[in-house]
Chain A
Amino acid sequence: MIVNDIVRALNLQVVAGAAALSREITGGYSADLLSCVMARAKAGNAWVTLQAHPNVIAVATLLELAAVIVTEGAPIRDDVKAKADAEGIALLATPHTTFWVVGELARFGIQAQE
């Protein structure tokens, strides 16, 4: 499954990093605490979070995540979008809750990689 598949399945808004929409998704991870993400998210994962500041993109880049899904319509600043574009990280947004997104991802076959 590629990033664009979940964009369509969950009707997500592509905020930035459209170049990465063809990346393969290896699994999913969710947390708002960056150290947790650093410790446990895997390369190619879709990361579901409420956080939307520039450091989120730094974390996603270092871990080579496939996509960041920002939930509950959290506002995303232009510098965050620009950073996602520059680093090639698909930055996606939805008004739904983190719980809803994770449930839907699981329903479409995205698994945790523990």
Chain B
Amino acid sequence: MSRNVITVTPGMPLTELKETMRTNRISGVPVVNEDGDLVGVISIEDLFRAYEDGAFHEFVGGRMSTNLITVREADSVDTAVQKFQQTGVGRLPVVNAWGVLVGMLTKGDITRGLLHEIQVDTQDEEIARYRASHIFRDIESDETSLMLRYKVPPLDFTHGGEASSKIKRALTRVGADAQIVRRAAIASYEAEMNLTIHADHGGVITAAVDASQVTLTVEDDGPGIADLKRALEEPGYTTTPPEIRAMGFGGGMGLKNIRKCADTMKLESEVGRGTKLEISLRLHTREVPGQKR
């Protein structure tokens, strides 16, 4: 709303009102008494009617509309929009809890407010994306890469998946193809949940992103996978405890999902020492013509 509102008093002559409206280029004006209380609204239509009635010598108080439609300062934008819709008026006086006029609200104010919100949101994201996607061009080196490290605590199912969400966002921002971001997110999620479920002390995911590919390294210090071959190849093979399986984990599919999503995959594990998984995905399909996927 606008706060610097031009107001008139009931005692103002209509001739003076006409001048006020003309010089300020306004088509309606709130009428307040000496205490600042809103007592009416008078518009250019009221002036026309007074002119037609030959009543230009009268005063604002006798010609204003006293059927007041207002909004409170503390009302939501929703309420204001509803009032605009229900009444068909173009502007609403805004009053405080004591009925004192504090501003005027137009439909335009609301539209501008909403547009601004939308623009701020999209601009922020666009700027973030622009900066990120140009990092490999803007920073000069023989080889630039981004290293992102995420610690994954053991058995924290509430935050499980957050590292993968962040990796996904980072890849989107550096401009990777949507399909590749999706595959990286799936592989990363499966690996992250493996750390959450199995690793004694949780583990660390490192995502190394350069202009052409992302390499995810997922490491823990135990317990290690006893039967790598079965874990990688036997459908449904799992060592996940039953109470965690009840939550929908441990279908024996995680490593298979990862292999399906990654371009390269290397898995090393030693019981008592830990597990290290390294996978990579090319960021742009078009850069490798003729490659089958």
Contact = CB atoms under 8 A, between A and B. Distances in A.
Contacts of B248: 32-34, 49, 51, 55-56
A54 B186 contact: no
Contacts of B260: 39
A73 B249 CA distance: 21
Contacts of B157: 53-55
Given A32-B248, A62-B185, A39 B161 contact: no
A76 interface: no
25 contacts: A34-B193, A34-B247, A35-B249, A36-B251, A36-B253, A38-B186, A39-B257, A39-B260, A43-B182, A49-B248, A51-B247, A54-B158, A55-B249, A56-B248, A58-B160, A58-B162, A58-B164, A58-B189, A59-B161, A61-B161, A62-B161, A62-B185, A62-B189, A63-B182, A79-B158
B190 interface: yes
Interface string A3-38: 000000000000000000000000000001111101
B264 to A, nearest CB: 19
Interface of A: 32-36, 38-39, 43, 49, 51, 53-56, 58-59, 61-63, 79
A49 B159 CA distance: 20
A56 B247 CA distance: 9
A38 B158 contact: no
Contact of A38 (B159, B165, B257): B257
A33 B238 CA distance: 13
B293 to A, nearest CB: 16
Contacts of B165: 58, 61-62
Contact of A62 (B158, B168, B247, B253): B168
Q: How large is the interface on B (under 10, 10 to 19, 20 to 34, 35 or more residues)?
A: 20 to 34
Given A38-B257, A54-B157, A62 B186 contact: yes
Contacts of B222: none
A35 B158 contact: no
Nearest to A77: B158
Contacts of A43: 182
B161 A35 contact: no
A39 B186 contact: yes
The residue in B182, B248, B253 that gathers the most chain A C-beta atoms within 10 A of its C-beta is B248
A62 B164 CA distance: 8
B40 interface: no
Nearest to B257: A39
A61 B122 CA distance: 19
